[in-house]
Amino acid sequence: MNRFISLLLAGFLGVPLLSHGQVESTAPRPPRGRQAWIMATSLPPDVQSPLKILMGKELTEVEIMKRSLGLPVGVPEDGMMHVVKPITDSEGKPAYERFVTVGIPEAVKKALVILFPDPNLPAPLKFRAKVIDLNKFRGGDGLFINLTGYEVGVTLGEKKASLKPGQTGIIATGDFEGRRNATVSYHYREEGKKAWNLISSSTTMLLSDRREILVFSYDKQIGQIDYHGISFADVD
């Protein structure tokens, strides 16, 4: 599993209220320099899309969609991004309630930021965050996120990966141009057991100009593992 990205940015430290200062308009504009795409595996019931991202004194909105990613945001010089909610502080002044702080390493030019809602965090924090360097997640590759309590196995073509609960992994498909077909199957097994149980299997089409993200979760209503895919156009 040495391909797996393990950079976890919890954003648990610091004061949760951030002063407004002089905040610029939320009007979108093409980002310059370093870029970050933001996704969430889901949103807490009391958090709505678009998310508000505070970078320095600039406030930007990012749409969170289930099956695709919105436009990237520019990464500030210090690499720090805060997901916030505008509020009024105890003195009646405008401030921000911070849901998570994410730091983009200086060496990462294009990043994918994954937000994981966590109800066990101390208020007002809402998310854990993970940063993936897009130089290590290329067009045609698959990114798999296991939010279940089971070990999940993925077979994509001739490549295999096993994800422990809470783990994220990348299967690199190698360099190719255009499109190609590949068999794909998903399995799960309970802790301490050797036998795998089939979730699904099929044939999929890999596109060299598109990354694919798959999120595994446990659906309590149907009592089984479910998953949904997110398409991510190549940014090279």
Same domain, 155 and 126: no
Same domain, 57 and 96: yes
Same domain, 104 and 181: no
Same domain, 125 and 205: no
Q: At a CB cut-off of 8 Å and minimum separation 6, what does 128 contact?
A: 8, 9, 10, 11, 100, 115, 116, 118, 121
113 belongs to a structural domain: yes
76 belongs to a structural domain: yes
Q: Read off the pLDDT of each residue in 117-142 and give the average, rounded to a whole number.
A: 95
Cα 143 to Cα 141: distance, rounded to the nearest angstrom: 7
Residue 70's pLDDT is what?
Answer: 86
Is 119 exposed, middle or buried (CB count within 10 Å of its CB: 0-12, 13-18, 19+)?
exposed
Q: Choose the final residue of a domain: 89, 106, 133.
A: 133
Q: What is the pLDDT of residues 130-156, one digit of tens each?
A: 999 999 999 999 999 999 999 999 999
Residue 89's pLDDT is what?
Answer: 87
Q: Read off the pLDDT of each residue in 60-69 and give the average, rounded to a whole number.
A: 93
- Which secondary structure element, helix H or strand E, spans residue 199, and what is its range? strand 197-207
Q: What is the pLDDT of residues 167-221, one digit of tens each?
A: 999 999 988 899 999 999 999 999 889 999 999 999 999 999 999 999 999 988 8
Q: What is the pTM of this model?
A: 0.84
2 belongs to a structural domain: no
Q: What is the pLDDT of residues 9-55, one digit of tens each?
A: 333 334 455 544 444 444 455 466 899 999 999 999 999 999 999 99
Same domain, 32 and 79: yes
Helix locations, the chain, DSSP H: none
Short-list 210, 202, 204, CA closest to 233: 210
Q: How many domains does the chain have?
A: 2
Same domain, 127 and 147: no
Q: Choose the final residue of a domain: 98, 133, 168.
A: 133
Same domain, 147 and 116: no
DSSP 59: E
Token pair, residue 78, equals 């210090």
154 belongs to a structural domain: yes
Which residue range is the domain that position 159 belongs to?
142-233
84 belongs to a structural domain: yes
Q: Choose the final residue of a domain: 133, 160, 182.
A: 133
Token pair, residue 235, equals 């940014």
Residue labelled with tokens 């802790």: 191
Same domain, 195 and 165: yes
Same domain, 117 and 41: yes
Same domain, 129 and 187: no
Same domain, 124 and 30: yes
128 belongs to a structural domain: yes
Same domain, 16 and 54: yes
106 belongs to a structural domain: yes
